[in-house]
A and B are shown apart, each in its own frame.
Chain A
Amino acid sequence: MKVLVPVKRVLDFNVKVRVKSDESGVDLANVKMSMNPFDEISVEQAVRMRESGTATETIAVSIGPDKAAETIRTSLAMGIDRGIHVKTDAEVEPLAVAKILKAIVEEEKPDLVILGKQAIDDDSNQTGQMLAALMGWPQATFANSIEKDGDSLTVGREVDGGIQTIKVTLPAVVTVDLRLNEPRYASLPNIMKAKRKPIDAKTPDDYGVDLTPRLTTVKVAEPAGRTAGVKVADAAELVAKLKEEGVI
């Protein structure tokens, strides 16, 4: 089975987000960027499938600026076989990402595409589902367990009420949730080895995908802040305050 893993470079989850004073966006200059944490989980899943023999080849794809190659390298150091870097400095919305991924899927013919359930910057939670629709494939989103049997996958999904288990026939799209696995750290030898693994450089034009955004950002504002309130000394004081507020 061939597995494709789209990985996105995002603002590191530990970085404090600053809205630009002209409200044009979020300040991304000179801040730490990392692989989207959900994508680390999907990379880990693909690498485990490769190690157990379930997957025969694993490919990481990233769509983004030159630096997105670093994110692909990270996945190669974790154990992915090779990379495809679709270079663009443009804003790429999930719909366009899904269209590029569709073109890559048609070329590479993977049996499974594993994505993160959401990217922690734009929080869209769309790309995997869109790709599945464009391919006419089944989808299993928010996976917290994946079991392959024959030509299908049994996937446990984190839903609002608990866990739902569904079966999808391959080829399929899976998006991963937080508790599917614990991603490994790349070891130094593997980081060195990853430097020799191939990354194909492509452009959106190679796939004939129109990137024109459908959404324009009118402004990006700071949300109304909350300020620290008062300290209470004991339960009696707390209960009295909450009664005063009328919330209990």
Chain B
Amino acid sequence: MAILVIAEHDNENLKDATHKTVTAALALAKDKGCDVDILVAGKGVKDVSAAAAKISGVRKVLACDHISLKRQLAEAMQEVVVPLMDGYDAVLAPDTTTGKNFMPRIAAMLDVMQISSISGVESADTFVRPIYAGNALATVKSSDTKKVITVRPTAFAPAAEGGSAPVETIADPASPSTSEFISEELSKSDRPELTAAKIVISGGRGMGSGENFAIIEKVADQLGAAVGASRAAVDAGYVPNDSQVGQTGKVVAPELYIAVGISGAIQHLAGMKDSKVIVAINKDEDAPIFQIADYGWVADLFNAVPELEAELTKAGY
């Protein structure tokens, strides 16, 4: 049969998490010797479908364009995906808040045990996934005939573009109408998205206030970086909830992660320790963050961060 990847998008743009999920799907498909299709479910998804069709290695794109899918709420997604699964051996979606929301519903309807947040594909039925905040890596083998899998995008390289798969429109889903969208308050920022950024600079409780984040933001803008935070900084109301990096927030793996005034609790490390280079700025030389940082700078952040900004300015950033 074949493998289905559910595209991550906002009805306008296809998200990079899709490309990474396709890479995981292609690894599975290679072991099984089968094809990979992409499902784009949403409202007004012509452009998104066209973008998905360009991903290399994809057989075809299924487009489902319906008002009930505009927000990809879980009940509506279930109505589209479950009937399609007669023709697929496996379904994969990125473990974004959208995927995490709808995938277990699909698994339950198929009577399948979902494999959450995989970071590796060993074979068509065996996968690696982090557990206990990434302090252990479990290799699990699924005995279910169909596989329902969420993929940790940071663990896979994006699939290349250059393909030209056909786009096929599929029938409208049955209307679930059990949950209703009311509103959305999206954090507005001109900076790159946390999970897609090449550089992330995060602040913790040590920042002391929301206003103080301005010193981090200046450096972020010099470097084209995204701004993240520890749970403590979010709980204190310094920055919006969606900035939280960690076990129960976002998982990031940028080229460079700069942790400022963050102690390095395991729950925080779970979200950033796969970054290529880690820098920590903390005034406490015993802070656990220094145990995993490639470059540690023991200093008061209120001196260090402005110094860093000045140095970057000098270097032409």
A interface residues with partner B (beta carbon < 8 Å) = 11, 13, 16-17, 19, 26, 38, 93-95, 98, 117-118, 120-134, 137-142, 144, 154, 157-169, 172, 177-179, 213-223, 226-236, 238-239, 241-243, 245, 247-248
Per-residue A-contact encoding for B171-183, CB less than 8 Å = 1, 0 else: 0000000111111
Q: Which chain A residues lie closer than 8 Å to B135 at the CB level? A: 16-17, 19, 26, 223
| Chain B residue total in the interface (Cβ 8 A) | 92
Say which residue of B231, B255, B294, B308 sits within 8 Å of A235 (CB atoms): B308
For B95, the closest partner residue in chain A by CB is A125
Across the interface, A226 reaches (CB within 8 A) one of B75, B106, B187, B278, namely B278
B74 touches A (CB below 8 Å): yes
Residues of B within 8 A of A167 (CB): 179-180, 182
Q: Shortest beta-carbon distance, B247 to chain A, in Å?
A: 7
Which of B103, B140, B141, B242 is the one whose CB lies under 8 Å from A162? B242
A97 CA to B139 CA in the complex, in Å?
21
Q: Is A248 a contact of B317 with CB atoms below 8 Å?
A: yes
Q: Which residue of B lies closest to A228 (CB)?
A: B291
Find B98's partner among A38, A159, A235, A236 (CB 8 Å cutoff).
A159
Residue from the list A95, A124, A165 in contact with B108, Cβ < 8 A: A95
B278 and chain A: residue at smallest CB distance? A226
A-B contact pairs, 12 of them (CB 8 A): A120-B247, A121-B132, A123-B117, A178-B248, A214-B112, A219-B138, A230-B295, A234-B307, A236-B311, A239-B308, A242-B279, A245-B276
The answer to whether A228 and B184 touch (CB under 8 A), given A129-B104, A214-B113, A223-B137, is no
> Which residues of B have CB within 8 Å of A163?
184-185, 241
Known: A133-B108, A139-B179. A216 touches B143 (CB 8 A): yes
Nearest-Cβ distance from residue B174 to partner chain A, whole angstroms: 12
Q: How far is the CB of B234 from chain A (nearest CB, A)?
A: 7
Chain B hits for A234, CB < 8 A: 297, 307
Across the interface, B139 reaches (CB within 8 A) one of A13, A162, A218, A233, namely A218
Whether A222 contacts B136 in the complex (CB less than 8 A), given A123-B131, A169-B178, A228-B290, comes out as yes
Residues of B within 8 A of A16 (CB): 135, 266
The reply to whether A242 and B132 form a contact with Cβ atoms under 8 Å apart is no
Is A133 a contact of B104 with CB atoms below 8 Å? yes
CB of A26, distance to nearest CB on chain B (Å): 5
